[in-house]
Amino acid sequence: MTVGRWRIGLAATLALVGVGLLFAEPTLLGAAVVPLAYVCYGVVSGLSTAPRLRATRSFEPEEPGPGEQVTVRLHLENAGDSVVPDLRIVDGVPDLAVVDGSPRTATALAPGETVTVSYSVVARRGEHEFDGPLVRARSVSASTVHTERVDVATGTTLTCVTPARDRLSETVLRRVGQLSAGGHGEGTEFYATRAYRRGDPMRRIDWRHVAKTGEFVTVEYRDQQATETAVVVDIREPGLGRPAAGHPSGASLSAEAADRLLTALDRANVLAGLGAAGVDPGGPLATVGNVAWAGTAGRQSDPSVLLDDVRRRIETGVDPEGSNADGTGGATEPGVSTDASAGDDRQLTARVDGGSAASPGARAVAEDTDAASNRETNDANPGSAADADGAAAGPSGTVEGDGSDESIEQLLGQMPAQAQVVLCTPALDNWAVAFGRAVTARGHDLVVVSPDITATGDVGLQLAGLRRQLRLRTLDQVGEVVDWTPGRSVSFDPGGVS
């Protein structure tokens, strides 16, 4: 396609000729050669043929987990015989956030030469189809333009699944599923000593006692019993925001963690059930209030089905078969970001802590969110000294603003009495702390798995990250905390178990 880029040269030529004649000035007439030369340049320079390009694409890693960064490399080769002096390339990225590099470039390609476009995206669960790159070639003078989409030989689909070697599940499972019970057995916790009997293993003899007294005694240990484990996933509103466009939300990563643990616990036959906090009270998921529970007792319900419904709720912002509380079917709730937009950052920051919102509107949202969070955690304790953003600092920088919460009570009422509890939560507000205290107060052992979505972000998110660390430190005092950054190492910090 030819574009009239050098029409300006025509105008300049005519202007110079006219003025030159008017003023009888030969210099101006001679100057008309200059724009005329540019016009000729635009006419003469063109693309002899449409460029022949070959494209391949690769992903690293090839099968990432949700939330991981994937490096995409697009290789474009000039398979023709002529130089392409001006080639602009835009790769066909699906709806994934580009977090590093750019899928666009511009270059000149000699015959046989290859250009590589490299950029990073954040993976989301599922299969993502990449379109072929859109290329636009121009002649040297840019007076001829050719646009086409190039087919890609390899690397058209990015598949995001749970990794085969799941370090998160391995780390958590080392701490759940086994409990020291009463009575002696084959555990590792000391129970009692008794007189040696023939046949007792040599390794059980207390040799120190033998050295002191000359008597042979055998050490007995507590019996280890497999214990039920309940997984609770926090999908309340503070976790629904995304740290940046295209990144997974805290709730979606919590659901991802719950998914991995459900599989591993079910395989070990210690799964008690799955609970979800933050469902729509009027929706079909809810069991009681805004919580849902799918227990495995009697196989009356399937935790994996509940998890699928939960995941759908996170993606769409509604209950899968219902509508929002305001009656709009399938509409996105205010502040629930499903589109990659710049407003997501502010929404998340505003939703998280209230102190780092980017705009007055976002701050108002933050104040409402934290007021709601305070109401959730302080219903039974209205006198708790919560500060403006709901995080009353206790001694040594821990978080104290909590009390009993109706949703917490409802959830605890659903699960077995002796179950260990694994809470999957982004810990973006104090509900997780309240839940942890309530769980341990009832005698359950607690493990908290918290995906970190504040690791990379602006100052507001970093501030939210600091507050999250305070909450995790508080939870560390009542349970064990696994701090998980998707795509990076799993940080496990064993604390005291009450």
- Where along the sequence are the contacts to another protein (CB under 8 A)? 2, 5, 8-10, 12-17, 19-21, 23-41, 43, 45, 85-96, 98, 102-108, 117, 131, 134, 136, 140-142, 147, 246, 340
Nearer to another protein, 45 or 224 (CB): 45
Nearer to another protein, 91 or 259 (CB): 91
Residue 487: exposure state from Cβ atoms within 10 A (0-12, 13-18, ≥19): middle
Nearest distance from C-beta of residue 22 to another protein, angstroms: 9
Q: CB count, 10 Å around CB of 346?
A: 24
* Residue whose CB is less far from another protein, 35 or 273: 35
Closest CB to another protein among 136 and 473? 136
**Nearest residue (CB) to another protein, 97 versus 357:** 97
Minimum CB distance to another protein, residue 52 (Å)? 19
CB of 93 to another protein, least distance (A): 5
Give dist(CA 336, CA 34) in Å, integer: 59
Longest dimension (CA), the chain: 130
Residue 125 CB, shortest distance to another protein, in Å, is 17
Q: How far is the CB of 136 from another protein (least distance, A)?
A: 7
Of 54 and 104, nearer to another protein (C-beta) is 104
Q: How far is the CB of 315 from another protein (least distance, A)?
A: 17
Q: How far is the CB of 239 from another protein (least distance, A)?
A: 24
Q: How far is the CB of 232 from another protein (least distance, A)?
A: 34
91/353 with CB nearer another protein: 91
Residue whose CB is less far from another protein, 87 or 336 = 87
Residue 86 or 259 with smaller CB distance to another protein: 86
Closest CB 112 distance from another protein, rounded Å = 16
To another protein, the closest distance from the beta carbon of 141 in angstroms equals 7
* Residue with smaller CB distance to another protein, 8 or 497: 8
